[in-house]
Structure 1
């Protein structure tokens, strides 16, 4: 992968079995058509639809029930942030909402950080080779996060930090804070287990506790909270 891209748990993803169903949402017709053409021939991916704005993205996602939505953030009628928030706020008892992967041109786009806070599993840059975008889609479908540690640090550094109260640090144990900091560097669960010399199940338990205590929708959201609260500072490398 690109040196600035760390799909957390990428090594755990698989391309066997049923293909990952994908909806592409982008207001630029050339970009949307190009992504559809290129991703449709990638192993393990089936493009099932596309949308030209946020309203259509929500409608199509609810109708087609894709595994993943590749979501542009700057779209008419409804931007990708609000579309992501609506998709991930499905009422209890409904089908599981899709994973959302934000696709963007600029890695310092404040909209991307907001989309991650809204629950997106991660983001990819439009300039990346299509095979890396495809891998990010597969990783998201598997329930993992797509982290760009350096890019995320730059984005958060450009925004005002939230208050210290944004992170209930007293609620986290020392080991949970340690795991969160390692998550912020883009390490997968197996890599964290190796770094801390503990079992994978122990790491999964710690990660689950961190998400619950922070009220985070996924591990990417937890990392955003860690950066914005100041627990992890821009420039931290582990």
Structure 2
């Protein structure tokens, strides 16, 4: 009997450990990182999944991470152009680049504070600059020259034409930890890598930029979804027809044949 227990114990030790591994985990780039790198990668993953950008593995992020039947998609009813354009979702802190109705890139952003909010509008890109100088918002702050490491615009600027407004744009930043929050004076800040390597080279002067909350964007015909996919209702099987029972004829009818 003692030998049997020894054999059983050895067999358990030889079982591959991954047989006891946890279930489904969606592909991501943050779980194997730590510190600020983990936070930044979490924000980027949340943007790709149409989740509110927080940098934390919160409940919504866990649901998307561990649920196999989770769906993420954008629906554009009437695209403002068949060419490239941008939406900025103020509810989720996500900038999305579209080509026509097709999403081709999603990125986390910083937006304006409650006292200096990013305006909601159907805007247009009116200029693009590499290594822009910063004017200090008309004397409110000390101007900063181009290529200065303290330039809050980073090294890329895309100016926006917004009805009744001026001075707003999409640009880089010098405070990456604030990405995903409401910290700016109203401009839309991006990770420097994202704007320098994808958004700035992709966009054109004249491209539309829709800026709004979930509800505002939906009122314009843009829907950005992230949710557990509901199972399609199964059709109710129709009952099989019962075979007809043989008719019984009265004796009189039988005689008449």
TM-score using structure 2 length = 0.24
Larger Rg: 2
